[in-house]
Structure 1
């Protein structure tokens, strides 16, 4: 390693890196804020209660970290420091309920490009302090500190992810944010608070190492945090039981999400690697319809297809509830619009789509044709009562009665996929001609089935 006497060797390299970082600080802060916004929106729509924050690393903490790390392995260049420090931009997810950690990890992996993941503690039990395991990515503690107290509790419990923001999630003008790493830290609100206290006490080498009694008190506080997390998990379960048993409406989409998780788990479905979908939109729809209760939603759960990765729970429930009823489609479209443009509160309906700009005319035409098709299915092959079976089931009944040909059966599955994209917000890239052709095909199919069933 070359040493510049004028700059003071390693100190000079660190100073150069810090000066560069100060010039780029606004970039790192904007990058972290962009990641925060994506996580905040996706966690909220999935019904996960969390506080999401972000920050660019403070200059003082960066200097402190670099000096500590250089004591063990001196830096030779600014580039070497850049490769070593991965948390210049950071986002923090503080969970209300630690039991939702798996769901949060799924959302992070769906939202961002995860390059590295780490769990703390990596081995349980670990008789080390959080400083020893570099839990907060700040570097090792002062030599000898950890010999003064044998830790009884596991220390820092969290999951860290080093991620990139996918280009598909960046708006025009944000492309530059896709090339840098963001560190995402996930832990309970209690654990994050303990981590901050522990870090500020342990990583202060100029103030001397902690005494054995101070280490013991930190360990005791960690035990209280672990006990608090257990209590939060029990509180979550108690809340789930209350919501599932009550006839009162869901208070928000978080309660709806917890109800769905609890009920589907009881039915043998695992949502660990699946998704609930746009629970916020479903909740808005249920509220407008006056059916935001467990008793209104539960009858549909047995009808769900269990491939939740391909067809999210909220989307399937909406499809079953909307089937063949134009006024319900109107309500769902309003909920979708309200969720995306809460400040505008635009009242979108099938009729307004038909009367809207040319860009949305094709969407309205397709939805209108689909509603007519579902209305016919209710009359021809629907079950007794209000609930309509999923379309794959109804299509098989049509084929069994020879009301549709094998070719029409196959094409109907493509139409269903197209309909799902349109209703659940994935149609903006569809050419209008494709939707108009699909609407025309649906009208022909509807008339053909009607004539055969007569």
Structure 2
């Protein structure tokens, strides 16, 4: 047996491993895309044994493999994930989301900047191979359109995103492809035609027709981008409730872009939870008009504090019923990513964790209520927590040391209310609740002495 047969036999024995690794990356990306309000179709697969053997035989004819290790270094698409975006204009945002979710080792863009048109390198989330010589087999035909347009990533899944039972998938190299739904469809058609040498090389007219179809796909992508922009304008102007969190995300993107904010993977955050929170309160609150007053109050630290989290903070403002509604919204969000545990995931009736959480919520709401009732702070409901704390410090109602500790408490609160409550012990929550109650009483005393 040769090195190719050895590699294929070993891969066939490990097929279930690669398929599971692909599914794991798929689940993570799909959850992140969904919660951020990016419409996409996400699929995954482990490379079929037959296709792998065919691919290795083709590549071996050009550059013979000397060992199984050589093949392992050459083939990076044993596990693959495909992201087919509805709107091609969101590809940059999707790329940043991939970089934030997975460990990216290599990025390839098709076609490369300044390069001639490229043909798709492989089918269904397959390789990052360099374009083959297929297109040069008919030199009499010159492409008029740009060909395959996509982003390919070679990634590994971070250990922080894996459960104990999934740890072994952290070493798997996975390929992620991002392109529009139209471009993915065109690349499938072209690949299946040009990679079938037994049926003969394509004629000049067939290449010309594929080129023409590529032009139609590019025109379709332009139309989709215009459709996206038109939809953003419609949603921003509408007085009716958002139909889903995708519409809320489109509204936020439009408004933040108008304010000059640079969109990124972290800009929006858990829009699905925010939408669920708004919808649970009432239909009237899940509208652009209800969200609009808070937009200008956002602080421009979106990489650290996503827009959805900041908006939720402003809307919660000293209202215990709203805090409870937000916790319920986190529980109801259907697409929480693996490795991210929501606050409500721990909520068994009368459990130690839930009792400690309730104690912390009560203490925090009591503090916020007292701050809001201090007339000298103005309309605290429309101010960020950081701004409220600065005002307390400047008015002498808290000491600089208490200001620093209060910011630490704010970080703890963000852990609890924005998805990382599993990292906080009940003992820590109770200690924090006691400190918050003590601070509230001290603020009352100082305010009364003035």
TM-score range, shorter chain: over 0.9
Distance 1:386 1:407 in 2: 22
Q: Does the aligned pair in 1 maintain the 2:343–2:419 contact within 8 Å?
A: no
The residue number in structure 1 matching 2:371 is: 377
Q: Does the aligned pair in 2 maintain the 1:69–1:139 contact within 8 Å?
A: no
Which of 303, 306, 313 aligns to 1:312? It is 306
Q: Does the aligned pair in 2 maintain the 1:32–1:89 contact within 8 Å?
A: yes
Distance 2:133 2:190 in 1: 11
- Structure 1 residue 151: deviation in Å? 0.5
- Structure 1 residue 141: deviation in Å? 3.6
- Structure 1 residue 25: deviation in Å? 1.0
- Structure 1 residue 173: deviation in Å? 1.2
**RMSD between aligned alpha carbons?**
2.3
The residue number in structure 1 matching 2:350 is: 356
The residue number in structure 2 matching 1:247 is: 239
The residue number in structure 1 matching 2:339 is: none
Q: Does 1:294 align with 2:284?
A: no
Which of 186, 190, 212 aligns to 1:220? It is 212
Distance 1:190 1:341 in 2: 25
Which of 182, 186, 193 aligns to 2:178? It is 186
- Structure 1 residue 166: deviation in Å? 0.7
Q: Does 1:176 align with 2:176?
A: no
The residue number in structure 1 matching 2:6 is: 16
The residue number in structure 2 matching 1:205 is: 197
The residue number in structure 2 matching 1:450 is: 444
- Summarize the Cα distance change of 1:64–1:368 in structure 2 as closer, same or farther, 3 Å threshold: same
Distance 1:94 1:374 in 2: 44
Q: Does the aligned pair in 2 maintain the 1:366–1:438 contact within 8 Å?
A: yes
- Structure 1 residue 181: deviation in Å? 0.3
- Structure 1 residue 275: deviation in Å? 2.6
TM-score relative to the length of structure 2: 0.92
- Summarize the Cα distance change of 1:131–1:178 in structure 2 as closer, same or farther, 3 Å threshold: closer
- Structure 1 residue 68: deviation in Å? 1.1
Q: Deviations over 1:90-133 (max 9, x none)?
A: 0000000001111111111111110001100003461554469x
Equivalent position SS for 2:164: coil
Which of 418, 426, 438 aligns to 2:420? It is 426
Equivalent position SS for 1:117: strand
Q: Which runs of 5+ in 1 are unaligned?
A: 1-10, 343-347
Which of 360, 366, 376 aligns to 2:360? It is 366
The residue number in structure 2 matching 1:231 is: 223
- Structure 1 residue 424: deviation in Å? 1.2
Q: Deviations over 1:363-382 (max 9, x none)?
A: 22111100000001110157
Q: Does 1:280 align with 2:272?
A: yes
Distance 1:111 1:176 in 2: 18
Q: May I ask how many residue pairs the two structures share in their alignment?
A: 437
Distance 1:295 1:406 in 2: 38
Q: Does 1:95 align with 2:80?
A: no
- Structure 1 residue 54: deviation in Å? 0.2
**More contact order relative to length (CA 8 Å, sep ≥ 6):** 2
Q: Deviations over 1:222-267 (max 9, x none)?
A: 0000000000000000000000000011111011011101101101
Equivalent position SS for 2:313: helix
Q: Does 1:413 align with 2:422?
A: no
Distance 1:135 1:24 in 2: 19
Distance 2:286 2:193 in 1: 48
Distance 2:140 2:65 in 1: 30
384-393 or 37-46: bigger deviation: 384-393
Distance 1:208 1:226 in 2: 28
TM-score relative to the length of structure 1: 0.91
Distance 2:184 2:335 in 1: 32
Q: Does the aligned pair in 1 maintain the 2:371–2:380 contact within 8 Å?
A: no
Q: Does the aligned pair in 2 maintain the 1:382–1:389 contact within 8 Å?
A: no
- Structure 1 residue 294: deviation in Å? 0.3
Distance 2:343 2:162 in 1: 29
